[in-house]
Amino acid sequence: MRLPTLLAVIFALLLLSIGPSRALSLPPSQEFTLDNGLTVLLTPKHDVPLVAASVVVRGGALVDPPGKEGSMQLLAELLGKGAGERDARAFVNAVADVGGELSFSASTEALHGQASFLADDAALMLELLSDALQRPALAQGEFDKLRERAIQSLAALKDGDPRALLDVYGNAWLFRDHPYGRPVHGSEASLAALTLDDLRALHRSRIGADRAILSLAGDFEPEAMRRAVTAVFGSWHKAEGEPPEVPTAVRPQGPRVLLVDKPGATQSYFWIGTLGAAAHDPASAGQDLVQTLFGGRFTSMLNAELRVKSGLTYGARAELERLSRPGAAAWYSFTRTDATERAIDLGLEVQERLHHQTVKEDDLQSARRYVIGQFAPEYETHGQIADALAMLALYGQPRERIERYTEEIAAVGPAAFAAARAVFPQGRDYAMVVIGDGEKIASTLSKYGPVTRMRITDPAFSPPPADGNRPTR
C-alpha cells in the first residue's frame, strides 16, 4: 500500500546510517478551496472501514473577550448540543446510533471539530458537522447547563491529580496578560461572567468558512467526497470579524515563583518554564532533539536524575508548545512533600547541565534515532492524519514538513544542537509554579525567587493583582 516515492528512496539512502530504511510516506491528498474560502483536504486510506474528519477554525481562545476566558471552549461544546433540525438529545442520539464519535473543543489558537464514523455513515458525519458549525441551536437551556457544569468540573478537576492543571497555572504565570496565558477552559470566575449572547456574538464574528480547514481521511472515494463536501459546506458564510493577531510575548528576566496552595497534598508538583519556540521556527528539528535528550523520553536527563537515579518521582518531562508565536518551553515533575527542595534543586542542576555540557555524539545519535523511530506511529490512524494535515494548513506549512522531518532530524549536528538548547529556561530566568501543601513548602520556595501565593480553590488560575501594577481585564 505504501509505495515509496523517488524522494523517499533518496531520503532513505541518506538515512541508512541512522534510522529507518523506509521514510514515512503519507497517503496522497487532494486539496481545494471552496468559493467561501473553506480549505478542504481529502486523504483516502482504505485499511479499515472508517472515516475521520478534522475541522480547524482559526481563532480559538485568542478571541475570548477580556474577562470572559473560556468563551470559545464553551461555544465549542455548545455546538454539539443541538443543531439544524435536531435538538440536543436528537443530536447525540444521531451520533450514537451509528457508533460515531463527534466532539468540538477549543485550543489557544483554534476551534477544533473531530469526528470518527464508520465509512458507510460518512454522509451523516458531514451533515452533523455542517449543522453544528453553521446552524447550531445555541439554546439557552443547554447553555445554562453547560456553563454550570463547566464551572463545577473545574472544581472537581482541582480535587484530582494536579498534573491535569499544572500547565494551565504554568502558562497563566508565564504569559500573564499575554493571550497565551489565558486558560482555554476558562476559570470559575470568567465562566460565571459569560452569557449566551456572548457566545452568539462569538459564533457570528469568529466562526466562518473563510478561516476554516476541513480535513478528511479514511475509507472514501475522493470524487464523491468532494461533491458531498461542496454540497454541504458550500453555503457556509464567512465570519464577520477579523482573524486575531497575536504579538510575541516577552521572555521572563529573573525568577518568579507561584505557589498554589493545596492543603493536605502529599506531593509537590512543579513546573519551570520560559518563552520557547513557534510552529515555524527554522530550528525546530534541533529543538526537538534537545527536548528529547533533556526530558522527552525515559532515559532523558531529567527522568534519569529524578526518577531512575534518585527514586524521587514517577516521572519528569520537558515539553515545547509550538503556536503561531513562541509558546511555553517547560519542564516539570513531582515528588513527596518533604523532598520538594531536593527534587527542584536536582532538576535545576540538570537544566544547567543541559546548557553548559557539550553533547556527546553518541547521545545525539541516540536522540536522532529515537525521534525518527517514533515518528511514523504519529501518522497511523485516519484521525491522526486528518488532524496533522489540518494543523499544518492552519500554520501555513506544506505537507513536506512531515515527509522531510526525519531528514531534518538526521541533519542536526552538534553546533545546531548546542544553539537550540537556548529554547529551555536557563539560570534564574524562569517562571516557576509549584502546587503543593503551602504550609510545609512555602518557606523552602523563597530560595527560587520572589514567591506569590494563591489557593487552588481560588476561582482563577492567576493570583489576584497585589497592587495596581498588573492591569486587569
Partner 1 sequence: MNDSPRRLPALLLALAALAPAAFAKPAADSAPAAVPGAGTLAVRTLDNGLKVVVWPDHDIPNVALYTWFRVGGRNEYPGITGLAHFFEHMMFNGTSTGAPGEFDRTMEGAGGSNNAYTSSDVTVYQDWFPEEALEVVLDLESDRMAHLAFDPEVIESERGVVYSERRSSVDNDPMGALFEQMQATAFVAHPYQFPVIGWPSDVENWSMDDLTSFYRTYYAPNNAVMFVVGDVEPDAVLEKIEARFGRIPAQPAPRAVTTVEPEQQGERRIVVEKEGIQAPMLAMAWHAGSARSDQHLPLQLLLSALAEGEASRLHQRLVERDGLALRVGASLDSGFDPGLAWVYAVLPPGGDAAAVEKAIDEELERLVSEGLSAGELSRARKVAEADFWRGLQTISGKAQALGSREIFLGDHRLLFDEPARLAAVTLDQANRAAASVLRRINRTVGLIRPSAAATKD
User: Strand pairing of 431-436 and 267-275?
Assistant: antiparallel
Instruction: For the CB of residue 473, give the shortest distance to partner 1 in the complex, in Å.
Output: 26
Using the contact rule CB under 8 A, the part of the chain among 36-44, 48-56, 246-254, 459-467 near partner 1 is 48-56
Instruction: For the CB of residue 351, give the shortest distance to partner 1 in the complex, in Å.
Output: 18
Query: Nearest CA to 392 among 29, 11, 14, 18?
Result: 29
Length of the chain: 473
Phi, psi of 113 (to 5 degrees): -115, 130
State how far the Cα of 188 lies from the Cα of 152, in Å rounded to an integer: 8
Q: Out of 30, 205, 366, 452, which residue is the one contacting partner 1 (CB under 8 A)?
A: 366
Q: Out of 93, 248, 357, 443, which residue is the one contacting partner 1 (CB under 8 A)?
A: 93
Q: Out of 66, 234, 254, 373, which residue is the one contacting partner 1 (CB under 8 A)?
A: 373
Q: Does 215 sit near partner 1 (CB under 8 A)?
A: no
Instruction: For the CB of residue 338, give the shortest distance to partner 1 in the complex, in Å.
Output: 12
Q: Treating both helix axes as pointing N-terminal to C-terminal, what angle do 140-159 and 196-206 enclose, rounded to 10 degrees?
A: 100
Q: How far is CA 409 from the centre of its chain?
A: 22
Q: Does 275 sit near partner 1 (CB under 8 A)?
A: no
Question: DSSP letter at 472?
Answer: P
State how far the Cα of 100 lies from the Cα of 197, in Å rounded to an integer: 30
Q: Out of 89, 204, 453, 470, which residue is the one contacting partner 1 (CB under 8 A)?
A: 89
Q: Does 317 sit near partner 1 (CB under 8 A)?
A: yes
Instruction: For the CB of residue 310, give the shortest distance to partner 1 in the complex, in Å.
Output: 7
Q: Does 417 sit near partner 1 (CB under 8 A)?
A: no
Q: Does 20 sit near partner 1 (CB under 8 A)?
A: yes
State how far the Cα of 424 lies from the Cα of 176, in Å rounded to an integer: 19
Instruction: For the CB of residue 238, give the shortest distance to partner 1 in the complex, in Å.
Output: 31
Phi, psi of 307 (to 5 degrees): -105, -60
Query: Nearest CA to 132 among 81, 73, 197, 188?
Result: 81
Instruction: For the CB of residue 158, give the shortest distance to partner 1 in the complex, in Å.
Output: 7
State how far the Cα of 323 lies from the Cα of 37, in Å rounded to an integer: 23
| Residues 6+ away with beta carbon under 8 Å from 175 | 181, 249, 328
Inter-CA distances, 306 with 167, 262, 301, 313, 469, Å: 19, 23, 9, 6, 37
Using the contact rule CB under 8 A, the part of the chain among 35-43, 303-311, 390-398, 460-468 near partner 1 is 303-311
Q: Does 162 sit near partner 1 (CB under 8 A)?
A: yes
The number of residues that bind partner 1 (CB under 8 A) is: 80
- Give the residue with the Cβ less far from partner 1, 336 or 404: 336
- Give the residue with the Cβ less far from partner 1, 89 or 453: 89
Query: Nearest CA to 233 among 9, 375, 364, 37?
Result: 37
Q: Does 391 sit near partner 1 (CB under 8 A)?
A: no
Please give the residues from 98 up to 117 whose contact with partner 1 meets the rule CB under 8 A. 98-101, 116-117
Q: Does 334 sit near partner 1 (CB under 8 A)?
A: yes
Q: Out of 68, 86, 147, 158, which residue is the one contacting partner 1 (CB under 8 A)?
A: 158
Q: Does 125 sit near partner 1 (CB under 8 A)?
A: no
Query: Nearest CA to 423 among 292, 290, 253?
Result: 290
Q: Does 5 sit near partner 1 (CB under 8 A)?
A: no
| Grid cell digits, residue 102 | 463527534
Q: Out of 85, 223, 242, 298, which residue is the one contacting partner 1 (CB under 8 A)?
A: 298
Query: Nearest CA to 214 among 26, 37, 73?
Result: 37
Using the contact rule CB under 8 A, the part of the chain among 163-171, 198-206, 235-243, 387-395 near partner 1 is 163-171
Q: Does 83 sit near partner 1 (CB under 8 A)?
A: no
